[in-house]
Amino acid sequence: MLLGLAWEGWLTGALIVTMISLLVSGRFGADIVMLGVVVALLLFGIVTPATAVSGFSNTGVITVALLYVVATGLKETGAMTILTSRLLGRPKGVREAQLRLMIPAAGLSAFVNNTPIVAMFLPVLSDWGKRHRLAASMLFMPLSFAAILGGICTLIGTSTNLVIKGLIDEQNRINRDTPGYDTLETLGMFTMTPVGVVVMVFGLGYILLMGKWMLPKREPVLPTMEGSRQFTTEMRVEPGSPVVGKSVEQAGLRHLPGLFLSRIERENETVIAVEPEETLGEGDILVFVGMLDSVVDLQKIKGLVPVAPVLEGVRQHHRLIEAVVSPASPLVGRSVRAGRFRTHYGAVVIAVSRHGERVRGKIGDIVLRPGDTLLLEAPVGWARKHRDSNAFYLVSEMDEAAAPRHERAWIALGILVVLVGLITFEVLDTMTAAMGAAGTMVLLRCCTGPQARRAVDWQVLIVIAAAFGIGSAMSSTGLAAWIAHGALGWTQAYGPVVMLAMIYLTTVLFTSLITNNAAAVLVFPIALELTRTAGVTDFTPYAICIAIAASAEFMTPIGYQTNLMVMGPGGYKWMDYTKFGAPLMLLCGVACVGMAYTLSTMGYWGG
């Protein structure tokens, strides 16, 4: 068998080894490395042009892109806050905090791609942890792990599941034209749910039992108010606001990270040294002092609006701009109100900072000086228009909208429910349902077109699409068959449990070295060849083991993108993942293989 492998197989193997080495080194982006391998395969004639780019037209890859847009609609409307605020609540200890965090994270990740779910949780969790005096390192890794565990429960929970479905559908297309090959059972919305739920329960149980002792107790290096620029901003309580009638404590405005409530101004009084029990009313003007990021987050709280004059149009179409007043500016020596920002510049001043110090008085009465930093709300394109203006010598625009589209939050949630229903009851195929949901999010203005385009993680999509071409090369050159027989062929003599376990282990090892989606695509043809030669008629448990193993890599920060996303905010080191994640990875593997084998012997998938 060794000598029977043609030069194309040897070259493909050498390219894959080189690819893995480069990915492990971290010197180059995964998309660049994998596209480079596809180009090499194309130049040597190992794959055809159509095969090389087949991944870019795969329905699974397109569905992943569309689900990023759906997640953006949920984020931009503040629907995530609706789903999480009550569940997070006020924990009394670390375990309760982890439980309150992991339940919504896992639940949401089952129906929305888990990567954007973690991205949406990061700022929410950071503020929540600081407010309740909880170490970030006790929260962020459980967030990532819970999102991964929730994502393996349904078809749309993670991109890996969609990739495996896409591979099965592509294989079925090939099998229809190849005599002697049977059609594989594709993955439905809840095909993998029984296995995924068992793995999730075991995983969450481990985190709750062992997290308090095995997770590191350290805080990330984050800026504090001391030594940071302090902005002064004013927010008005709108009529009908959710905070009306609540105390400052109940409204969640007491322990805002990097921000404190300086005073409350009312028609007949000014409240200084605000007590936690102070009740908020309609029209109250809340004066906050804090860091820029915290002031920006303040704009997202439902029911609070800037005191500054309102611009034409809705706030969701505006951007927040940071601008520094230049010495030659006509604004110097004039108050914010006298400067008539809205009339002369088409913007309003939200907050002011002066050399990092607190500026006292109402924003409208602050007399501007050279070097003052202004946080402005302005229409899209304002920064580009005024970048060369002599009034300012530094202008930068923030990507996010000035405020979430709170009034459309329930619309976004409704779209998500309809999407899940369409896929669950097979009214539409997964890609068509996702396309309809993404289009509806934009059409009903849950997010804008530019926001939808920015939301798509093109690097992830390129990695997945390129992996399809590499996987095809492994099959066509006989490399997959050589690995299946040479490396895993011995498992056939020990039955399906050992075969499932080795496929699972192989996928986990690949995932720990390269990306999860690339690992799934590379192991798929190996597993397919192994089961064919062993005479296995039900490939579904093997497909599920590959999908779960490719996602459930907890031992390294590079194995899954969400692990990498929480590494900085949680203040983690590489060995923190190994210490806490290795036992979890082993536990999930045992649960997955055992459950997949049990259901297969019961004929659950009809194999």
Q: Is the pLDDT of residue 224 over 60?
A: no
In a domain, 116, yes or no: no
Q: Considering only the C-alpha atoms of the chain, give the largest distance between any 2 of them, rounded to a whole number of Å.
A: 92
pLDDT at 312: 57
Contact 547, 507 (CB under 8 A): no
CA 190/CA 153 separation, integer angstroms: 7
Q: What are residue 234's DSSP bridge partners?
A: 287
Per-residue pLDDT band for 536 (boundaries 50, 70, 90) equals: confident
Q: Which of 463, 178, 158 is nearest to 471 (CA)?
A: 463
In a domain, 364, yes or no: yes
Q: Is the pLDDT of residue 436 over 70?
A: yes
pLDDT at 141: 93
In a domain, 223, yes or no: no
Contact 557, 564 (CB under 8 A): yes
C-beta atoms surrounding 596 within 10 Å? 30
Continuous H helices in 77-139:
79-88, 94-109, 114-131
In a domain, 254, yes or no: yes
pLDDT at 85: 64
Contact 584, 203 (CB under 8 A): yes
pLDDT at 502: 92
Q: What is the pLDDT of residues 160-173, one digit of tens each?
A: 898 899 889 888 88
Amino acid of residue 456: V
φ, ψ of residue 369 to 5 degrees: the values are: -125, 160
Q: Is the pLDDT of residue 24 over 80?
A: no
Q: Which helix (H) or strand (E) holds 305?
A: strand 304-306
Q: What is the pLDDT of residues 54-91, one digit of tens each?
A: 888 888 788 878 888 888 888 788 776 666 666 777 78
Range among 39-48, 181-190, 452-461 with highest mean pLDDT value: 39-48
Please provide the size of the chain in residues: 607
pLDDT (mean) for 499-511? 90
Residue with the bigger pLDDT between 145 and 119: it is 145
**How many domains, in total, are found in the chain?**
1
In a domain, 473, yes or no: no
pLDDT at 404: 66
Q: Is the pLDDT of residue 549 over 70?
A: yes
Continuous H helices in 313-373:
341-345
Q: Write the CB contacts of 160 (distance below 8 Å, at least 6 apart in sequence).
A: 516, 517, 520, 547, 550, 551
Residue with the bigger pLDDT between 280 and 124: it is 280
Q: Which of 410, 326, 402, 396 is nearest to 73 (CA)?
A: 410
pLDDT (mean) for 373-381? 82
Q: Is the pLDDT of residue 527 over 50?
A: yes
Per-residue pLDDT band for 503 (boundaries 50, 70, 90) equals: very high
Q: Is the pLDDT of residue 460 over 60?
A: yes
pLDDT at 225: 46
Q: Is the pLDDT of residue 463 over 50?
A: yes
CA atoms within 13 Å, Cβ hemisphere of 175: 14
In a domain, 157, yes or no: no
Q: Which helix (H) or strand (E) holds 361?
A: none
Per-residue pLDDT band for 191 (boundaries 50, 70, 90) equals: very high
Contact 141, 188 (CB under 8 A): no
Degrees, nearest 5: CA angle 288-398-238: 40
In a domain, 338, yes or no: yes
Residue with the bigger pLDDT between 589 and 93: it is 589
- Could you tell me whether strands 304-306 and 285-290 are parallel, antiparallel, or unpaired per DSSP bridges? unpaired
pLDDT at 405: 72
CA 270/CA 263 separation, integer angstroms: 7
Contact 348, 308 (CB under 8 A): yes
pLDDT (mean) for 417-434? 84
CA 324/CA 369 separation, integer angstroms: 10
Lowest pLDDT segment from 207-211, 240-244, 394-398 = 394-398
Contact 295, 288 (CB under 8 A): yes
pLDDT at 379: 80
- CA quadruple 551, 555, 561, 566: dihedral sign: positive
Q: Is the pLDDT of residue 221 over 80?
A: no
pLDDT at 119: 67
CA 279/CA 244 separation, integer angstroms: 8
CA distances from 342 to 70, 199, 416, 437 (A): 34, 56, 38, 37
Q: Residue 434's Cα: distance from chain center in Å?
A: 17
Burial (CB count <10 Å: 0-12, 13-18, 19+), residue 267: exposed
CA 443/CA 463 separation, integer angstroms: 29
Q: What percent of the chain has pLDDT over 90?
A: 20
pLDDT at 2: 44
Q: Residue 388: give its domain's CATH number.
A: 3.30.70.1450
CA 467/CA 444 separation, integer angstroms: 35
pLDDT at 400: 61
pLDDT at 226: 47
Q: Is the pLDDT of residue 182 over 80?
A: no
Q: Which of 446, 480, 503, 544 is nearest to 71 (CA)?
A: 446
Across the chain, mean pLDDT equals: 82
Residue 601 structure tokens: 């012997």
Q: Which domain holds residue 350?
A: 231-290+303-403
In a domain, 358, yes or no: yes
Entry pTM: 0.66
pLDDT at 517: 80
pLDDT at 223: 47
pLDDT at 153: 93
CA 11/CA 55 separation, integer angstroms: 21
pLDDT at 84: 67
Rg (CA), the chain: 27
CA 459/CA 455 separation, integer angstroms: 12
Q: Which of 63, 159, 58 is nearest to 115 (CA)?
A: 159
